[in-house]
Amino acid sequence: MHGVVMVFFFLIPSIPAVLGNFLVPIMIGAKDLAFPRINLLSWYIYVLGGVFTLFAALSGGVDTGWTFYTPYSTAASNSHVMSAALGVFITGFSSILTGLNFIVTIHRMRAPGMTWFRLPLFIWAHYATSLIMILGTPVIAITVLMVAAERALHLGIFDPALGGDPVLFQHLFWFYSHPAVYIMILPAMGVISEIVQAFSRKNIFGYSFIAFSSLAIAVIGFFVWGHHLFVAGQSVYAGLIFSFISFLVAIPSAIKVFNWTATIYKGSVSLDSPMLYAFGFIGLFTIGGLTGLVLATMGIDIHVHDTYFVVAHFHYIMVGGAIMGYLGGLHYWWPKMTGKLYSEAWSKFSALIVFVGFNLTFFPQFIAGYIGMPRRYHAYPPEFQVLNVLSSAGASILAVGYIIPLIYFMYSLVAGEKAANDPWGSRGLEWEIPSPPPTENFTVTPVVTEGTHQYVHPSQEVGVA
């Protein structure tokens, strides 16, 4: 249940829906997305899917995990698989519509002078994300539909007793669900690219490398799904190939990390709260990415598969990466979206709490997993006690780190100071219009003459504190 809600209803839509729907049109100088009504429709569809999943949660939950692995989900489980699967199926359409909307908008609605290579990197990241949404989501939709069909009508698709093949489910499922990881992390990478430039007062190091690495991640991400099947009965040769391609996808991710670091290097860095989240992202994503390489190595994966090592790895990417990026973006654009300033002292404090709480929660899980604690059991031998206590303590601290922003964001809505057009001194189209923007974003269609974040080199800049 935790997985279904977090993956399909938070991590996938959070940044594209909250920040993307708002920023994609503004950043390219458009009045709105290409299809505003389809955008609204995708929200209704999301809510409808949410209702089905909520029903599953309230009436007893699903015990298949978010992966709905067959034949358990089709033949054995007597929990609410149908409504949860239907919820995932329906929400998929909201994802497809959002992707479609972004792609058409980015192709057709750019302001005069906004060439492809002047686009903010946030836009490139969302473009790559949208491609995955459109090409991948139909597959998961059909796959969960087949699970429902086998469960209800006993069609023999996945259940060996009916002549089906359970590993086929894993192929189809991960064909979408590995790229879905990039649906979650790419928008966060786009956010970090913006924040790093704004708070280092420097133009990005290697713009086109970052832009194309987004596309490379989107494309190569579709060729690596078999690394989830190493111990599922997949052939050894297929495993070898998937293992090798999984290594390849680390290259574009590493390009991004190195280029962000090079951007910060010798920049005029200011440690405002969005930048603190960006630092958190870069560090935690690097740990998550490198442990991903550990897991992509077939031999080592046999040792650590289905242990807490895996749990720690993907939480470093998803929580340490995607959620850090989301929080960073929320802090960066909050004044623009609401027109109100929040408390900088409290936000810095909460960024610190989140970082400490996160590491305390998930780092012990690497150790526990490596020495053999399996995932998905509530009981464990006494030697894992210390690590589990640390982890639980960290989770409580992490929760505090999430509640504090909730409070000061709410507070800023009622009593926050009014935000100027450009509270951070950033350069980009979204900072040239009032906060919050008027309904149609721009009164006059802007003419773009240069890329975003064109700052004078700090050593030449005059009058900057």
Partner 1 sequence: MSGHVAPKSLYYLIFLALMIGTGVTVLVAKFDLGPLNNIVMLSVACAKALLVILFFMHVRWSSRLTWVVAGSGFFWLLILFSITMSDYMSRGWVPGTLR
In the complex, the residues that contact Cu ion under the rule CB under 5 A are 178
CB of 230 vs Cu ion, minimal distance in Å = 11
Q: Give 455's DSSP letter.
A: P
In the list Cu ion, partner 1, none, the entry touching 229 (Cβ below 5 to 8 angstroms by class) is partner 1
CB of 175 vs partner 1, minimal distance in Å = 5
- Residue number with CB closer to partner 1 (176 or 334): 176
- Residue number with CB closer to partner 1 (222 or 308): 222
- Residue number with CB closer to Cu ion (314 or 411): 314
Which residues lie closer than 8 Å to 272 by C-beta, 6 or more apart? 199, 344, 348, 424
In the list partner 1, Cu ion, none, the entry touching 190 (Cβ below 5 to 8 angstroms by class) is none
CB of 350 vs partner 1, minimal distance in Å = 41
CB of 357 vs Cu ion, minimal distance in Å = 26
- Residue number with CB closer to Cu ion (166 or 221): 221
- Residue number with CB closer to partner 1 (171 or 427): 171
CB of 222 vs partner 1, minimal distance in Å = 6
At residue 418, what are phi and psi to the nearest 5 degrees?
-70, 135
What is the rounded distance in angstroms from the CA atom of residue 426 to the CA atom of residue 431?
A: 7
In the list partner 1, Cu ion, none, the entry touching 178 (Cβ below 5 to 8 angstroms by class) is Cu ion
In the list partner 1, Cu ion, none, the entry touching 167 (Cβ below 5 to 8 angstroms by class) is partner 1
DSSP conformation letters of 93-129: HHHHHHHHHHHHHHHH-PPTT--GGGS-HHHHHHHHH
- Residue number with CB closer to partner 1 (1 or 128): 128
Residue 332 buriedness (CB in 10 A; 0-12 / 13-18 / 19+): buried
Binding region for partner 1 (CB under 8 A): 135, 139, 167-168, 171-172, 175, 222-223, 225-226, 229, 233-238, 241
What is the rounded distance in angstroms from the CA atom of residue 387 to the CA atom of residue 394?
A: 11
Position 451, amino acid: G
- Residue number with CB closer to partner 1 (107 or 418): 107
In the list partner 1, Cu ion, none, the entry touching 339 (Cβ below 5 to 8 angstroms by class) is none
Residue with token string 């149908």: 82
CB of 238 vs partner 1, minimal distance in Å = 4
Rounded alpha-carbon distances, angstroms, from residue 300 to 19, 229, 311, 360, 370: 38, 14, 15, 24, 10
CA of residue 123 relative to chain centroid, distance = 15
CA angle 358, 315, 412 (to 5 degrees): 55
CB of 246 vs partner 1, minimal distance in Å = 13
